Structure 1
């Protein structure tokens, strides 16, 4: 199976990305030129007028992507291969498309987007049912499983989780090999690799599957998957990661020869992987790795600050980096460091779009060509980047915090429980994972409050309005009983109140470890005022 995918699959064809827009040429190999860019016209019903820094561009870009490529027909929902080709995108490429829809839901919490993700994943499984043993590329299984495990976390559809877990187990069990290189997952299974093709262990297979293991752990707290996520990461770090510079190498072959080819997607998958492990474990080394890897791209893989690559063989180029940067910056409140650069790229994306369809290809510093045969996935990176780049720096609420009583310093704590429906309590501030809560926003400006220990949402059971009701954690649905308004008060503290019940977080004026966290009608008292720190 020979595919025009990412750089590792193009080594034999003479193309290894080095930096944005630069290729290393092998002797006797001919480079395939990118199509000539043509000026897009602006006289179309699809045209949307936003300035390049407008916050509406995230919606406009995703809506445009759907308008150009989304098909709902015959009970199936899928992205087609191109504007002109109505056939369904398939297998790993379709998974890349679905990941963009999941990015949009992550930003909005929209029920419409949740339904879309559910329908896309369901259709994909109908068209690509397991077993997947026919596919020898382990990174393919990584993309399959990533789309499905994220789909599960969004929709709660159990079959998505079942098949994502199956995919990880299959790829890990057949691909993890200690005979060569001391471990690592084969990019393509040696016994399924055609004669003459290179055999190596690459960033794509290891980092994509490592991310899947992290998401499985988040969903189940099965320690074996966190152990495997750390095992894979440690192998990557020691074999195909330059910890001095932040460069992620393409891979390593059986003779321990490292392919130092550069690709933004390799950097991005590693960033997201490192950030996931940092959020799960609190180990600062993962944070440092993620930041170093972002900085390597920013300083070495841009053209005048813009991430761009118009190579014709590419599918996506920057979608995984968009997710990695977006999650890292959001979770760790690094907006002051990276927002200006993120916005610079967002502006270039929007400025170089086809204005008839409002879609932008991988060459973010070049006008998108009017070519209706270009693959759908070529437009995924731009949409993903815009989902994670707000027009202005978010306020101090977004990101990870300890929720601490302004009255007595007691902290909101999930009591190190991973079970669904367990009660939330109060405990003296100890800065542990059970006291870390990640605030992410919905399109209506309400907030989701997610435990960094259990990965479940702060929840008012059934949306009941009862004073004194203990709050619980529950799998994230982003329903109104899990949406919170967070209002800053004149003394600098916050009133945190539920969208469904209007009840506010209240500590009952207790400083007793293990006492229940309740909701109560707002009275402005000290027990209802909280600091985010």
Structure 2
């Protein structure tokens, strides 16, 4: 993924703090039917972005029919969310089309120069297998995993999965958090110990190299040639490392992982926000517009943990709900349900797939919360 640091009815619209106890909401929220909201936003994603060639266009309403590999994984994740939530076979009808279509658009293969791009798609394909039990999805995941694991090297930075095949010295959070998460989910599915060991190894390397234990910040990358670390903290990196911690906690029972996850989340809610609205900040358009939604997908997993610390739970749930409320009532364009990179502002024109998928992930997550 070339990072840049830098949904259908109007009627549906009826609807830098540090203390754990802080609440992230202003005023009384409008009543929202989150099931209806999720149905509408996800349907907008499909109607405005789906290409009959079996992939999601990059721009809404045919404004950009270009194909981008990694955002397609997240768009399909939204459709999977809707299928799990509703059981509606219409959503399921897109699975095979997408699985075949992205392979064609990606040059007849699921492999990619960027390890993180393969990881995102493997995570999505694993979910497709879990909801359909069709072996072709799992076969593709395992094939991708073999290639991903080959991205580990200890020549640079003492370990870690490289960001891309042509820059083996660049070890990024975006290529290690999702890899650890994929490995532990493969272990949960197959019970093959090797996947668990990979998950633990990748997690420990990232914790020792790209994690600020005192604060919960997940650093972006380390240049293995110079050992220089980029300390920028991006929400999607916070989210995947947090999710890995939660999944490892569920497997091992070691509360150190839960503590890590809570600390990561608390940092994100403290430092990665738009303080005027107490929502996740606008991290930019393009690739960056996806970041918030990825965090929220995995934040939901943390919120679903029964033994989350009480003080954290109050803060975390309030923040989660506020983001959904703001995104739905202020960030979605009323007649088209398109989202932009800011959840506090409606898009001015056509939307990008990255921003749309991100907003839809937030709404689907809110609909799934406490279901």
- TM-score norm. by structure 2 comes to 0.85
Residue by residue over 1:43-83, the C-alpha shift from the partner in whole angstroms, topping out at 9 and shown as x without a partner, is x9666333154123222221222222223x3xx44322212
- The 1-side partners of 2:107 and 2:191 are apart by 26
- Give the match for residue 279 of structure 1: 250
Say whether residues 1:311 and 2:311 are aligned partners.
Answer: no
- Give the match for residue 381 of structure 1: 358
Please tell me whether the aligned partners of residues 12 and 37 of structure 2 are also in contact (alpha carbons under 8 angstroms): no
Gaps of 5+ in 2: 16-29
Structure 1 position 290, deviation (Å): 0.9
Structure 1 position 88, deviation (Å): 5.7
- The 2-side partners of 1:285 and 1:6 are apart by 33
Say whether residues 1:142 and 2:119 are aligned partners.
Answer: yes
Which residue among 278, 288, 302 is the counterpart of 2:273? 302
- TM-score norm. by structure 1 comes to 0.60
SS class of match (1:331): coil
Structure with larger Rg: 1
- The 2-side partners of 1:209 and 1:182 are apart by 17
Say if 1:100 and 1:89 are closer, same or farther in 2 by CA, change over 3 A: farther
Q: By percentage of residues, which structure has more helix?
A: 2
- The 1-side partners of 2:251 and 2:99 are apart by 26
Please tell me whether the aligned partners of residues 69 and 81 of structure 1 are also in contact (alpha carbons under 8 angstroms): yes
Please tell me whether the aligned partners of residues 101 and 113 of structure 1 are also in contact (alpha carbons under 8 angstroms): yes
Please tell me whether the aligned partners of residues 289 and 358 of structure 2 are also in contact (alpha carbons under 8 angstroms): no
- Give the match for residue 164 of structure 2: 188
- Give the match for residue 200 of structure 1: 170
Residue by residue over 1:432-491, the C-alpha shift from the partner in whole angstroms, topping out at 9 and shown as x without a partner, is xxxxxxxxx5xxxxxxxxxxxxxxxxxxxxxxxxxxxxxxxxxxxxxxxxxxxxxxxxxx
- Give the match for residue 245 of structure 1: 215
- The 2-side partners of 1:257 and 1:323 are apart by 30
Please tell me whether the aligned partners of residues 47 and 356 of structure 1 are also in contact (alpha carbons under 8 angstroms): no
Which residue among 310, 324, 331 is the counterpart of 1:346? 324
1:37-52 to structure 2, matched below 5 A, reads 48-51=12-15, 52=30
Say if 1:120 and 1:301 are closer, same or farther in 2 by CA, change over 3 A: same
- The 1-side partners of 2:304 and 2:102 are apart by 30
Say if 1:310 and 1:296 are closer, same or farther in 2 by CA, change over 3 A: closer
Question: Relative contact order, CA 8 A, sep 6+: which one is greater?
Answer: 2
Structure 1 position 6, deviation (Å): 4.9
Which residue among 143, 153, 158 is the counterpart of 2:135? 158
Please tell me whether the aligned partners of residues 78 and 124 of structure 1 are also in contact (alpha carbons under 8 angstroms): yes
SS class of match (1:48): helix
Please tell me whether the aligned partners of residues 200 and 253 of structure 1 are also in contact (alpha carbons under 8 angstroms): yes
SS class of match (1:389): helix
SS class of match (2:213): coil
- Give the match for residue 58 of structure 1: 38
Say whether residues 1:320 and 2:294 are aligned partners.
Answer: yes
Residue by residue over 1:209-266, the C-alpha shift from the partner in whole angstroms, topping out at 9 and shown as x without a partner, is 1111122112211110111011000000100011111100001111222110121111
SS class of match (2:126): helix
- Give the match for residue 70 of structure 1: 50
Say if 1:104 and 1:244 are closer, same or farther in 2 by CA, change over 3 A: farther
- The 1-side partners of 2:134 and 2:108 are apart by 17
Please tell me whether the aligned partners of residues 130 and 163 of structure 1 are also in contact (alpha carbons under 8 angstroms): no
Say whether residues 1:364 and 2:343 are aligned partners.
Answer: yes
Please tell me whether the aligned partners of residues 103 and 110 of structure 2 are also in contact (alpha carbons under 8 angstroms): no
Q: By percentage of residues, which structure has more strand?
A: 1
Query: Pairwise CA RMSD of aligned residues?
Result: 2.5
